[in-house]
Amino acid sequence: MAVTRNYYEFDREQWASLHGPTKRAEITDADLQSVKAFNDKISLADVREIYWPLRRLVYLYFKNFRQKRQILAHFLDTDVGPSPFIIGIAGSVAVGKSTTARLLDLLLQRAYPKLTVQTVTTDGFLYPNAILTKRGILDRKGFPESYDMGKLLEVLDAIKAGNPDVLVPAYDHQTYDVLPDSQGIHVRQPDILIVEGINVLQLPSNAQIYVSDFFDFSIYVDANPALVEEWYLDRFGLLLDTAFTDPNNYYYQYAIGNRQAAFAMARRVWRDVNLKNLKEFIEPTRSRADLVLHKTAHHRIDEVDLRKY
């Protein structure tokens, strides 16, 4: 283990040794297929060597959170009410945040079946395409100004306050737009809530409170931008392969057209939108995370950094 600035740095073998005596509920290949992102790669070795120790660490933080709530209730001599332990997961487009979120959700539920765990994304807090078009920022989708941050903060505040039923808006990656409220996700006082999104650790300059203020633990999924571009283009190709039968799919127009031109468009979007957003607004939040999962080729996690303080 190395120490750099305010992080402990572990290589894969060192991190794997920290699984401890915790209950290791078995996960199958079918389980992995059900949680992994469209073009992500993950193995049972990743579960054992990376995610078992991560699950143990999260649970230890969760127990400490519960103890602090009890101390507060004792001090106030009153019931402070339920409040979920919230985990934020950040990182670039196509880096594998969704897989990390869904796998962590699955592992926590398998190991601690008495706990309720839910996962939501911040994609649903993007302004609808019609609004982005009206404001002339559709080509900046994913940048801070494309999100309704006020609404996101209100929703997180309601969830953290223990409201019994909070509606979280959802996003459809097939139509590339926000879904109606009737298709949103109801968050009903989970013990643990996982919030995944590129913007969860960002610090809007005009806000008095930040999204990360609601988090009790945060994770940043990291990789070299050149690798992330490769994964982004791989995913784009797979989307083209599946979209050509559905005229309502956002990618249908590219799937039935010239494939070379479609990939030229995707490279421009990566360069002018996703890479720019990564460099200016996402990557700078890395140092705010409690834990960093660093990926190398083939989505293999080769290093884990844990914040000291």
Q: Taking a C-beta distance cutoff of 8 angstroms, is the pair 181, 169 a contact? A: yes
Mean residue pLDDT across the chain: 92
Q: Is 124 annotated as a binding residue?
A: no
Q: What is the pLDDT of residue 277?
A: 95
Q: How far apart are CA 169 and CA 156, in angstroms?
A: 12
Average pLDDT over residues 29-58: 90
Q: What is the pLDDT of residue 4?
A: 65
Percent of the chain with pLDDT over 70: 96
Q: Is 97 annotated as a binding residue?
A: yes
Q: Is 162 annotated as a binding residue?
A: no
Distance of CA 40 to the CA centre of its chain: 14
Q: How far apart are CA 56 and CA 210, in angstroms?
A: 27
- 119-151 confidence digits (pLDDT tens): 999 999 999 999 999 999 999 999 999 999 999
Written out in words, the top-level CATH class of the domain with range 2-307 is alpha beta
How many alpha carbons fall within 13 Å on the CB side of residue 55?
A: 28
Q: Of 156-160, 210-214, 304-308, which gets the smallest average pLDDT?
A: 210-214
Task: Assign 51 to helix, strand or coil.
Answer: helix
Q: Is 80 annotated as a binding residue?
A: no
Average pLDDT over residues 83-100: 96
Q: Is 136 annotated as a binding residue?
A: no
Q: What is the pLDDT of residue 38?
A: 74
Tokens of 174: 């097939």
- 161-212 confidence digits (pLDDT tens): 999 999 999 999 888 899 998 899 999 999 999 999 998 998 765 567 788 8
Q: What is the pLDDT of residue 202?
A: 86
Q: How far apart are CA 76 and CA 102, in angstroms?
A: 36
Tokens of 37: 């992102």
Q: Is 182 annotated as a binding residue?
A: no
Q: Taking a C-beta distance cutoff of 8 angstroms, is the pair 255, 269 a contact? A: no
Q: Is 96 annotated as a binding residue?
A: yes
Q: Is 88 annotated as a binding residue?
A: no
Does residue 61 have a pLDDT over 80? yes
Q: Kindly indicate the confidence band of residue 245, based on its pLDDT and cuts at 50, 70 and 90.
A: confident
Q: What is the pLDDT of residue 214?
A: 94
- How many other C-beta atoms lie within 10 A of the C-beta of residue 45? 11
Q: What is the pLDDT of residue 5?
A: 78
Does residue 24 have a pLDDT over 80? no
Q: Where are the domains of the chain?
A: 2-307
